[in-house]
Amino acid sequence: MNTILIVGAGGVSSVTAHKCAQLPEVFHKIHLASRTLSKCHLVAASVRQRTGREISTHHLDADNLDESILLLRTLRPDLLLNLALPYQNLTLMDACLATGTSYLDTANYEPREIARFEYKWQWQYHERFRKQNLCALLGSGFDPGVTNVFTSFAAKHYFDEIVELDIVDVNGGENTESFATNFNSEINIREVSAVCRHWENGQFVESPSFSTHRTFSCPEGIGDFEIYRMYHEELESLTQAYPSLRRAQFWMSFSPTYLRNLKVLSNVGMTGIQPVDYREKSVVPLQFLKSLLPDPGSLGESTTGKTCIGCIIRGTKEEEHRTIYIYNSCSHESSFAETGSQAVSYTTGIPAMIGAKLMLQGRWFEAGVWNMEHFDPDPFMEDLNTLGLPWSIEEHDPFLKENRP
């Protein structure tokens, strides 16, 4: 029997639990663990109501190695799905090594004290996982995750060589809050405020955050959005996997209201990640701000519109220049109707489920620590189409060449 342990009880974890429960032939036993047990109970109740499946709930402080090892030894899962905070990746990987458990996550590790996320810490675990015949799959969300697979699928089927990559993440959704993030507020603000890095002629080039932007027209009538260049972790692994890339960039949409509020909060120090003294107590401003902002998991019912995330890939095929655009669009309303979560959680939770499915089936299993582009993209792309995130391919360049930065 295949047994999984999902760590975390936020919006992504909820979607993954619901989608795993829809496939009893693959996921025979589902456990859910979090520091906040009440959140696990809410997810379990929703899964029961929507699918009729029972999932077991457990308390876990994922920062505590001994506690994580004890729970893994008690439950003996075949696979741990780390859908908690990226601060906890290394602790949970250590627990997996101590108990002979394979591992999956959706975002790379970052230390609490530095807003700089890199794969180097997790890649250092490769030999340890290989020697124990365990597989660790990194970044099985949408971006990173599906964007990696879109790129490898294009490289396999559409190009002899890829030379440019633009990943564009647009959230065209709207909600009733004056200021809210669409996933964990602390992680979101750390990520978007970091120094921008993009790949140019064999190296990463830095620029100030939000300093480069352009207008992007989404397909399917979703609309026009202002997108800003920023760093995202899949650029690190993809530029290593495809050394022919001369340029690789990541873009994300932000509304004027979001940027205005973020600037004010930054100006007054509320986005700081270093502790400050307040009335003889140590407080991290960003963590305090997170406690005041709406829980992203609560936004599903009020959010309307669509996400549109995809890859613009340029290269050559049989010595002819070629450009394709692979993307998925996802409705916030339909996501909420199916799983009780908005589309940002939905588009991350489904790839986590698909990655776990392919690992348990042995179709994506090789001892070591791997990013998504390492494996054959075809079964993953097939599952996206049938399990909730259908994709489209257009043979044109949505970026006009003369408008590129």
Average pLDDT estimate for 4-25: 97
pLDDT for residue 199: 98
Highest mean pLDDT: which of 16-30, 250-264, 286-300? 16-30
Domain coordinates in residue numbering, the chain: 3-138, 146-343+392-403
Average pLDDT estimate for 97-108: 97
> Is the Cβ–Cβ distance between 95 and 68 less than 8 Å?
yes
Give the model's confidence band at 300: pLDDT under 50 very low, under 70 low, under 90 confident, else very high.
low
Q: Is the pLDDT of residue 194 over 90?
A: no
Pairing of strands 223-230, 213-218: antiparallel
Pick from 67, 71, 70: nearest CA to 57: 71
Average pLDDT estimate for 358-369: 98
pLDDT for residue 36: 95
Q: Is the pLDDT of residue 297 over 80?
A: no
Tens digit of pLDDT for each residue in 272-285? 888 899 888 899 98
Lookup: tokens for 304: 């309307």
Tens digit of pLDDT for each residue in 345-354? 999 999 999 9
pLDDT for residue 402: 43
Give the model's confidence band at 339: pLDDT under 50 very low, under 70 low, under 90 confident, else very high.
very high
- Report the b/e string of 285-306 with b at 16+ CB within 10 A: bbeebbeebbebbebbebbebb
Q: Is the pLDDT of residue 405 over 50?
A: no
Least confident of 6-10, 262-266, 366-370: 262-266
* CATH code given to domain 3-138: 3.40.50.720
pLDDT for residue 169: 97
Q: Which residues, at least 6 apart from 68, have a Cβ–Cβ distance to it below 8 Å?
A: 60, 62, 91, 92, 94, 95
pLDDT for residue 294: 83
Q: Which residues, at least 6 apart from 346, have a Cβ–Cβ distance to it below 8 Å?
A: 15, 330, 335, 338, 339, 388
Give the model's confidence band at 404: pLDDT under 50 very low, under 70 low, under 90 confident, else very high.
very low
pLDDT for residue 174: 81
| Statement: the pTM of the whole predicted model exceeds 0.85 | yes
- Domain 146-343+392-403 CATH superfamily: Dihydrodipicolinate Reductase; domain 2 (3.30.360.10)
Q: Which residues, at least 6 apart from 207, have a Cβ–Cβ distance to it below 8 Å?
A: 195, 196, 197, 198, 229
Distance of CA 103 to the CA centre of its chain: 15
Q: Which stretch of DSSP H or E encloses residue 253?
A: strand 247-253
Q: Is the pLDDT of residue 113 over 80?
A: no
Tens digit of pLDDT for each residue in 117-160? 789 999 999 999 999 999 999 999 999 999 999 999 999 999 99
Q: Is the pLDDT of residue 356 over 70?
A: yes
Q: Is the pLDDT of residue 7 over 70?
A: yes
Pick from 86, 104, 88: nearest CA to 191: 86
Q: What whole-number percentage of the chain has pLDDT above 70? A: 98
CA dist., res. 350 & res. 142, Å (int): 8
Q: Is the pLDDT of residue 173 over 50?
A: yes
Average pLDDT estimate for 297-325: 91
Average pLDDT estimate for 28-42: 97
Selected residue with higher pLDDT from 188 and 103: 103
Give the model's confidence band at 401: pLDDT under 50 very low, under 70 low, under 90 confident, else very high.
low
